Amino acid sequence: MLSTENKKEIGIFCIVAGLLMLIPSLNAWGPDTGAASVSSFQVSLWGKYLTYAILAMSLNLLWGYTGLLCLCQSLFFALGGYAMGMYLMLQIGTRGAYKSELPDFMVFLGYQELPMHWKPFYSFFFASGAVLWVPGLVALIFGFLAFRSRIKGVYFSILTQALTYAVCLLFFRNDFTFGGNNGFTDFKDILGFTLNDASTTRWLFVASAILLLLTYLITSGILASKFGKVQQAIRDSENRVLFSGYSTTSYKLVIFTVSAMIAGAAGALYVPQVGGINPSAMEAAKSLEVVVWVAVGGRGTKWGPVIGAILVNLLKSYTTQAFPDYWLIIMGSLFVVVVLFMPDGIVGVYKQLKSRIAQKRSLETSAA
């Protein structure tokens, strides 16, 4: 039978799923004006937030549950985005500014024909596969090298940041065949559906919502399994796990790769909803932002990263409009405050308050 804990979790899961479905439903069948109206712009905006939330969850899997502060999550996100972007670029066909079969930037840079590695991306299925295996492979190779030489803690963070930095430089190059500075943009349609259509926007949102729920299920599944127990044990004391006879390297490698694939899938959904991708999406600062979402929401909690990603991004879009000169200062101060005073994030505030009140009470009773 299910325990109360499990029942509570299933309940929350259903509520979140219901809330998520509310947005596209209101957009499709809701009123055009008033408080209950949801425009297509808002649908795609929230779709973007959902992909961010998935990205935050993938990092949480690493940082929250394995203790690996990875600063290349935005790189995996962007790699997935680029893989999907390649498919979308090829879908433009001859409707580009240069009326050529080749993507615009290739014509502009003087390419005669499509480079070999672009050709398979005409197929949606190949592209969706690449969304997973490209970031996965990068994570596998890099993780193997890093974990094998026992790089951990802060050094792992620094190395992942340097990896992001190096690949980002690579993508900024024009001759890297991925559009250089400008990246990909001007997408027209996906699987034959026009991207600007309200219904396409809705379906992309639904896909993001499903991926989010799926990621939640994967996380819960891993955590409940024996694998997840080892994983959390690595976070708490890697040496003890090592001495108990577990190869921490392979555990870390698996979780690193899985997390990279989830991030890649999030990136693939992000690109059609935002309408473009360029190398600045994989800048080192973006990875740090993801870390901040997780920290604000609550590291090592299942819904914390989702809450963090959405709240921070809402705050960001509000402050950039309301205080264009001061928004960085506001956000920066927020991080400082969160790290100093809310080590468990927003989700942890309730617990923090409860324990503080309990402490006070016990003091009072002992005094009495």
Partner 1 sequence: MNTLFSSFFSRSFCYCLTYLLCGLFCSVTLHGQERTAREVLADLVLSSDDEQEALIEELSNYGDPVIATLYEAWRTGGVYTLKKGEELLLLHFTDQQEWTSLATGEVIALTEEEASNVEKERASRAVRKALKGIIDTLGLKADDPLERIDSAIKMGQSQKPEFVEPLKARLEVEADAKVKGAIREALAISLLKNGEPSEVLGAVNELTEIKSIPARGFLDKILEAEVTAGEGEGELARATRKALVTIEEHIKRLEFFGSFFRGFSTGSVLLIVSFGLAITFGLMGIINMAHGEFVAIGGYVTFLVQTFFINTWGLSSEAFGWYFVISLPVSFLVAAFIGLLMEKSIIRFLYRRPLESLLCTWGISMVMQQGFRLIFGAANVQVNNPTWLMGNLSYAGFNMSYTRLLIMGIALVVVVLTWLLLRKTSLGLHIRAVMQNRGMASSLGIPVARVNSMTFALGCGLAAIGGCILSQIGNVGPSMGQQYIVDSFMVVVIGSVGNLLGAGLSAMGIGLVDQLLQPSLGPVMGKITVFFVIILFLQWRPGGLFPTRSRSLDD
Binding site for partner 1 (CB under 8 A): 69, 142, 145-146, 148-151, 153-155, 157-159, 161-163, 165-166, 169-170, 172-173, 239, 284, 288, 291-292, 295, 325-326, 328-329, 331-336, 339-340, 343
Nearer to partner 1, 145 or 217 (CB): 145
Nearer to partner 1, 139 or 204 (CB): 139
Nearer to partner 1, 146 or 310 (CB): 146
* Contact (CB, 8 A) for 219 and 225: no
Nearer to partner 1, 127 or 233 (CB): 233
Contacts of 18 (CB under 8 A, 6+ apart): none
Q: How near is the Cβ of 239 to partner 1 at its closest, in Å? A: 5
Residue 203 corresponds to which tokens in the numbers above?
């379906």
* Contact (CB, 8 A) for 209 and 20: yes
Nearer to partner 1, 162 or 353 (CB): 162
As a whole number of angstroms, the distance between CA 171 and CA 110 comes to 18
H or E stretch at 108:
helix 104-108
As a whole number of angstroms, the distance between CA 194 and CA 41 comes to 15
* Contact (CB, 8 A) for 226 and 232: no
Nearer to partner 1, 41 or 326 (CB): 326
Q: How near is the Cβ of 30 to partner 1 at its closest, in Å? A: 38
Q: Look-up: residue for tokens 């976070």?
A: 235
As a whole number of angstroms, the distance between CA 78 and CA 76 comes to 5
Q: How near is the Cβ of 265 to partner 1 at its closest, in Å? A: 26
Nearer to partner 1, 104 or 238 (CB): 238
Q: Look-up: residue for tokens 């002992």?
A: 366
Q: How near is the Cβ of 266 to partner 1 at its closest, in Å? A: 21
Residue 213 corresponds to which tokens in the numbers above?
């729920």
For the chain, the distance separating the N- and C-terminal CA atoms, rounded to the nearest angstrom, is 43
Nearer to partner 1, 172 or 184 (CB): 172
Q: How near is the Cβ of 342 to partner 1 at its closest, in Å? A: 11
Reduced to 3 states, what is the DSSP secondary structure of residue 123? coil
H or E stretch at 63:
helix 40-63
* Contact (CB, 8 A) for 204 and 44: yes
As a whole number of angstroms, the distance between CA 97 and CA 316 comes to 34
Q: Look-up: residue for tokens 């405050």?
A: 337
Nearer to partner 1, 224 or 329 (CB): 329
CA angle at residue 71 from 349 to 187, to 5 degrees?
100
Q: How near is the Cβ of 142 to partner 1 at its closest, in Å? A: 8
Pure H helices in 122-224:
124-148, 153-172, 198-224
Q: How near is the Cβ of 359 to partner 1 at its closest, in Å? A: 20
Q: How near is the Cβ of 336 to partner 1 at its closest, in Å? A: 4
* Contact (CB, 8 A) for 71 and 288: yes
Q: How near is the Cβ of 220 to partner 1 at its closest, in Å? A: 24
